[in-house]
Amino acid sequence: MRKVTIKNGTIVTDEEIAQEEGAKCPVITSEEYLIISSRKVADQQKREDRDLIWITRVSNRYFSQLVIAEFSAVFFAYFGLALSIFKYEIQQRREEEEFSLNLALFINTTCTLFLIFSLYVRYEIWLVWCKSVETFIENDTLITTGLWRTLVFEGIICLIAPYPFFEDKYLEEYVVDFKTDARLRINDLLLFGMFARIYLLVRFIFYVSEFLNPRTQ
C-alpha cells in the first residue's frame, strides 16, 4: 500500500517528498567531496600558520624586553660596583674629601635600589614571556610559580653593597701574635661581596647570544 501525506491540503506521495528533499540537498560526487575537504584543511592550516606567526612575534617582543631588563640590571650593578671600587681606592690614598666619598656611597645605594627594581621587572617580563611560549598558563604569577624564591635570593645577593650608615663601622679583632688590634671596615667587606654580581653579566651574555635566542630553540 502506498503511503500518502497531506501537505497544504494536497496529497503528496513518499516519492514526491523524497524528490523534494533531494532537490534541497544536492548530491555531490566523491571527487568534489575530496576537493571541498582539501580546501577546508588548507584554510585551517593557513589560520594555524597565522596564529603561529602572531605568537612568535609576541614572544620575540617580550624576549626583547627581557634583554633590555637584563641590561638594565647589569648596568646598575656594575655602575655601583665601579663607584665602590673608585671610592675605596681614593679612600686608601686619602686624596678626596669626605663629601665626595659620601656622595659616591649615596649614588651606589641609589644604584642598588634601581638594581632591585630592575630584577623585579625582569622576572615579571620573564613570566609574561613564558606564558607567550606556553610554559606557564595565563593565571600563573610569581607566587604560584615559585619564582618569588629566586627573586628574593637574587635580591639578597644584590643588596650586598657599601652603605653610608656603615661608613664609620669596623670589625675589630685582637691579634695575639702581634699584640695589636686589627680593624676592617664593614663597607670594605661588603665591597668584596659585591663581586657576586658577576652572575648578572654571565646571564646577560647568555641572553644576547644564540644560546637563549628564541629563534634557535
**Residue 147 maps to a domain:** yes
Quote the cell numbers at residue 163.
652603605
pLDDT for 111 equals 94
Does the pLDDT of residue 217 top 80, yes or no? no
Higher pLDDT, 28 or 204: 204
CA dist 77 and 152 (Å) reads: 16
pLDDT, tens digit (0-9, with 9 covering 90-100), for 29-77: 666 556 666 666 555 555 554 555 656 777 788 888 889 999 999 999 9
Q: Could you please report the per-residue DSSP string of 176-188? A: TTTTEEEEEEHHH
Q: What is the average pLDDT score of the chain?
A: 77
Strands 170-175 and 180-185: antiparallel
- Residue 79: closest CA among 119, 100, 107, 102: 107
**Residue 3 maps to a domain:** no
pLDDT, tens digit (0-9, with 9 covering 90-100), for 85-104: 888 888 777 655 666 778 88
Instruction: List phi, psi (to 5°) of 174.
Output: -90, 125
**Residue 48 maps to a domain:** yes
**Residue 27 maps to a domain:** yes
Does the pLDDT of residue 14 top 60, yes or no? no
Of 90-99, 116-125, 147-156, least confident by mean pLDDT is 90-99
CA dist 190 and 34 (Å) reads: 74
Looking at the structure of the chain, the number of domains it has is: 1
**Residue 43 maps to a domain:** yes
pLDDT for 124 equals 92
pLDDT for 160 equals 92
Its domain, for residue 99, covers 19-216
Look up cell 657576586; give the residue. Answer: 196
pLDDT for 61 equals 84
- Residue 111: closest CA among 144, 141, 137, 86: 86
pLDDT for 196 equals 92
**Residue 6 maps to a domain:** no
CA dist 185 and 210 (Å) reads: 43
The stretches of the chain forming alpha helices (DSSP H) are 14-24, 30-93, 98-132, 147-158, 186-193, 198-208
**Residue 44 maps to a domain:** yes
- Residue 204: closest CA among 59, 76, 56: 76
pLDDT for 62 equals 84
Q: Which pLDDT band, with edges at 50, 70 and 90, does 154 fall under?
A: very high
Q: Which pLDDT band, with edges at 50, 70 and 90, does 112 fall under?
A: very high
Higher pLDDT, 162 or 13: 162
CA dist 54 and 201 (Å) reads: 31
pLDDT for 152 equals 94
**Residue 205 maps to a domain:** yes
Mean pLDDT in residue range 159-179: 81
pLDDT for 114 equals 95
